[in-house]
A = this chain, B = another copy of it.
Amino acid sequence: MASIKDVAAEAGVSVATVSRVLNDHPSVSADARTRVLAAVQALGYRPNAVARSLRTDQTRTLGLVISDVLNPYFTKLARSVEEAARALGYSVIIGNADERPDLQDHHVRTLLDRRIDGLLVSPTDGGSPGMLDAARGGTPMVFVDRWIAGVDVPVVRADGRAAVRDLVAHLHGLGHRRLAIIAGPAATTTGSERVEAFREAMAEYGIPLPDAYIGQGDFQAESGRRVTEGFLDLAEPPEVVFAADNLMALGALDAIRARGMRVPDDIALAAFDDIPWFVHTDPPITAIAQPTGELGRAAVRALVDRIEGRPPQSVTLPARLVVRRSCGESPVTNRSQS
């Protein structure tokens, strides 16, 4: 592959001049410029990004470490991050942590070894050692979706509190009183916050949230299935199951179907994170939608601000309730209303 030296030779100038043309530095004569450009064309020369990065100490690359690429929410997030980054002249390298701290660490280290300019992380757990090192080590970093308390890093996320309250209001209005939740891992902020919001909203309606109605999931479909089976085995099973992410909702749906029960007639279902498929499930699923695209864009903006020396901003965007048919349609009265 042709190097800058070959171009210089071909154009009859020094490498310095070639470099100047390529980075359109002002002091290059028109003549030299055309000769260099012609040589570049003739040789099909493309600058070696590796060499350039070594010298300039910047790669124009962002790292994105997410918990699970197979989760449509994160896929969409990754896509909007890549788009926003590209618009700003950055590339993105995605690392999939699969909800495993060790894998998260592997990716963070690999990305750091590659000297990425900045890191976007949706931390899998309370913070793997490598991640904390990176944060303290001064690597420009922004948390997205989830974050770690006590680490001084900007956070870009959605606040689902209001939407969860809307959901509980909706469920209450439909006459449901026994509400259960499939929670995410307590070590993740999204895992614990969603339970908290749910509990608080229920408290507003004077509905208790017994421990038996809090199932511990891990944001994967299989855990949704397992937890839901547990709920259905209870002497007094819940009337509603609220899954803290879309994959666990999928698992819940499986479990419910396996019992030959129907949604929403026998049991209602709602989920955090809205995805295109929820429109087409049987029945369409009521969900809390995050502004995923905007989240990705805001995260990139914050990170690039930080990289380029401007003060980065934490951003919190509201999520909103999308009512479909999985919680019942008409105001049904299961029990006497007060």
Q: Which A positions have Cβ atoms within 8 angstroms of B?
A: 1, 44, 46-51, 53-54, 59, 69-70, 72, 75-76, 78-79, 82, 86, 91, 93-94, 96, 106, 109-110, 112-115, 133, 137, 221, 250, 253-254, 276-277, 279-283
20 other A-B residue contacts (CB within 8 Å) besides A48-B113, A250-B277: A46-B113, A48-B115, A49-B115, A50-B50, A50-B59, A50-B114, A51-B54, A69-B79, A70-B76, A72-B72, A75-B75, A82-B96, A91-B110, A93-B93, A250-B276, A250-B280, A277-B277, A280-B282, A282-B282, A282-B283
For the residues of A in contact with B, the DSSP-based class is helix
A106 proximity list for chain B (CB < 8 A): 86
Q: Are B113 and A49 in contact (CB under 8 A)?
A: yes
Q: Nearest chain-B residue to A115 (Cβ)?
A: B50
Q: How far is B51's CA from A131's CA once the two chains are assembled, in angstroms? A: 23
Provide the residues of chain B in CB contact with A115, threshold 8 Å: 48-50
Q: Please give the distance in Å from A22's CB to the nearest CB on chain B.
A: 12
Among all A-B residue pairs, the 9 with the closest Cβ atoms: A282-B282, A277-B277, A49-B113, A280-B281, A49-B114, A50-B53, A50-B54, A50-B115, A93-B93
Report A136 CB to chain B, min CB distance, Å: 11
Could you tell me the distance between the alpha carbons of A115 and B114 in the complex, rounded to whole angstroms? 13
* Residue with the highest number of chain B CB atoms closer than 10 Å, among A76, A82, A221: A82
Q: Known contacts A49-B113, A54-B54, A282-B283: does B79 contact A276 (CB below 8 Å)?
A: no
Query: Given A75-B69, A93-B93, A276-B221, do A113 and B281 touch, yes or no (CB 8 Å)?
Result: no
Q: Which residues of B contact A47 (CB under 8 A)?
A: 113
A220 to nearest B CB, angstroms? 12
CB <8 Å contact, B75 and A79: no
- In the complex, what distance in Å separates the CA atom of A277 from the CA atom of B321? 22
**What's the minimum C-beta distance from A100 to chain B, rounded to whole angstroms?**
12
Contacts of A82 in B (CB 8 A): 96
Given the complex, which residues of B lie within 8 Å of A277, measured CB to CB? 250, 277, 280-281
* B91→A91 contact, CB < 8 A: no
B44 and A133 contact, CB distance less than 8 A: yes
Contacts of A109 in B (CB 8 A): 46
